Each structure stands twice: as structure tokens, then as C-alpha cells.
Amino acid sequence: MPTQTVETPQILRGKNALVTGSTSGIGLGIARVLAKEGVNLTLNGFGKAEEIEELRRILSAEYGVKVTYSPADMSKPSDIREMISTSIRDHGSLDILVNNAGIQHVSTVEEFPEEKWNAILAINLSSNFHAIKAVVPHMKERGWGRILNIASVHGLVASPFKSAYVAAKHGVLGLTKSVALELADTAITCNAICPGYVRTPLVENQIEQQAEAHKLPRERVIREVILAAQPKKQFIETEQIGAMVQFLCSPNADAITGSSFTVDGGWTAR
């Protein structure tokens, strides 16, 4: 049974957030939790135009917040700069930046395609740098800000065949700490979240592929292949990552910066 997140008062109501890669998975879960909190949103990510418009409309109607969408490609620094300035223009400010967009490719290091290495480094790591660089002057001017980087347990430990992903996610934690130190004398914090396996379309596809490859039923693939390293043997829900974002944006987290928080079902306790 998925665990329900607990309701809290809307202490973030009226703030404006941008969540990259929020047309699917974890980013969408974070966007939902923030919208429910009364936070206005800029969505970003790929997908069918009509489905994204429907998502934008539903989030706005359901939670009574303003929701806009940026089609920026996170592998393109000029798109990222444009997305940040458009978000500030459309909403009047940008208080919360969640760097979430990410991709994966699995291969031995000697066969790892160079274009995949470059794309993973660009989307999973450099996009965070470009977005942070573009938003920090604005947050300094406003005197408040929250930067959340969605890393992974692979920011802390490695798995084979994921060299680019593991390198990028370790880089995200380094970037998080450096930015936090630079901003330590301001009211802007910068933290990272390190999820284990989260139930997203990306992971659902992997279950199907592994079931086929190993000729195993879905439930065994989930326990013995996908969740082998995750002691709780349960997927993390996207809204649970959203709840962590919500906490780190709250005044209770004013003193937390340069940290990374695992939400990993015990993975890194081993």
C-alpha cells in the first residue's frame, strides 16, 4: 500500500516555483505537492502539447494556483536562461527552483556512447548549474530563495553500467555544497534530495523490460531485480519526494543548507 503524505497548513502559499522535468514522474509529484500548498508553478519538460496543456489546466483549476509551462530543453543553456527570465516575468518572482529533469542510459563504460555521456552530463548536472546561475541574482535581490537539486542515491554510491549517471549525480552533490557555502550569508538555501527507486513511468518501463529479459513475473522482478538494493522492498512514491521538497522550503528548514537527504528505503544504510 502506498503511504499517504500528511496534510500541513499552506505556509508556502503565494510563492512561485519552477520545477524542471515536471511533465512526468518525480517532477510532476513535486509540482502537485507544491500546487496543493498554494504555490504557483512553472512546469517544464517534454510531452504531447495537448497533454501538457491539460495537465497545466487541471493543476491550476484543482489547486487555485497560477500554472505556466516552459518547453525549454535542459541540454541547452540559452533555453534555461530564457525559461528562468520568462518564469520571473510571468509570475513576478521565482522563489523556489527545483532542478529535477534527468535521463538515464545503461551500458558498460567501454561501450558507453559519447553522445549519451554528454547528454547525461548536460541534462543531469550542467542544467542545474545554468539554472542556479540564472536565478541567484534574482533571489539575492528578493532576499529569499530555495534551491532543491534532485540527485539520487547514485549521488552517494555507485552501480555498475551507470557511469555517466553516477558521475553526474555525484557532481550534483558537489555543486549543491559549493552553492550553499557561497550563499550561506543570505536567506537562500541549496540542498539535494537523493531518492532510491521511485515509482515513475521510467521505472515502470524497466519492470516490463526486465520481466521479459529474465522471463520472470512482474512481482519477482520488482523484489529480486529492481528493488534488490532497497531493503524496504517498496517503491518510494513521487509525492514523498514532494513532501521532502515542501519541508526544505518551509521556515523550519531555514538552517539547512548544503545538505543531501536520502529517501531511499534504507539503500545507503548497508
Select from 128, 191, 200, 262 the one that contacts ligand NAD (CB under 6 A).
Answer: 200
Cα torsion at 48, 49, 52, 56 (round to 10°)?
-170
Under the binding rule (CB under 6 A), the answer on residue 101 touching ligand NAD is yes
Under the binding rule (CB under 6 A), the answer on residue 195 touching ligand NAD is yes
Pick between residue 186 and residue 268 the one whose CB is nearest to ligand NAD.
268
Under the binding rule (CB under 6 A), the answer on residue 26 touching ligand NAD is yes
Distance CA 28, CA 190 (A): 20
Under the binding rule (CB under 6 A), the answer on residue 145 touching ligand NAD is no
Instruction: Tell me, yes or no, if 165 is annotated catalytic.
Output: yes
Select from 68, 87, 128, 152 the one that contacts ligand NAD (CB under 6 A).
Answer: 152
Helix axes 77-91, 127-142, angle to 10 degrees: 30
Distance CA 216, CA 218 (A): 6
Q: b or e along 141-158 (b: 16 or more beta carbons within 10 Å of the residue's beta carbon)? A: eeeebbbbbbbbbbbbbe
Distance CA 259, CA 173 (A): 8
Select from 98, 102, 120, 162 the one that contacts ligand NAD (CB under 6 A).
Answer: 102
Cα torsion at 207, 209, 215, 221 (round to 10°)?
-20
Q: Length of the chain, please?
A: 270
145-150 and 188-195 beta bridge pairing: parallel
User: How many residues contact ligand NAD, by CB under 6 A?
Assistant: 28
Pick between residue 47 and residue 186 the one whose CB is nearest to ligand NAD.
47
Under the binding rule (CB under 6 A), the answer on residue 265 touching ligand NAD is no
Select from 21, 145, 171, 258 the one that contacts ligand NAD (CB under 6 A).
Answer: 21
Under the binding rule (CB under 6 A), the answer on residue 198 touching ligand NAD is yes
Pick between residue 149 and residue 257 the one whose CB is nearest to ligand NAD.
149
Binding mask 107-126 for ligand NAD (x = CB under 6 A): ----------------xx--
Distance CA 116, CA 201 (A): 20
Nearest to 193 by CA among 145, 235, 249: 249
Under the binding rule (CB under 6 A), the answer on residue 237 touching ligand NAD is no
Q: Which residues sit at the interface with ligand NAD, rule CB under 6 A?
A: 21, 23-27, 44-47, 73-75, 100-103, 123-124, 150, 152, 195, 197-198, 200-203
Catalogue the active-site residues.
Answer: 165
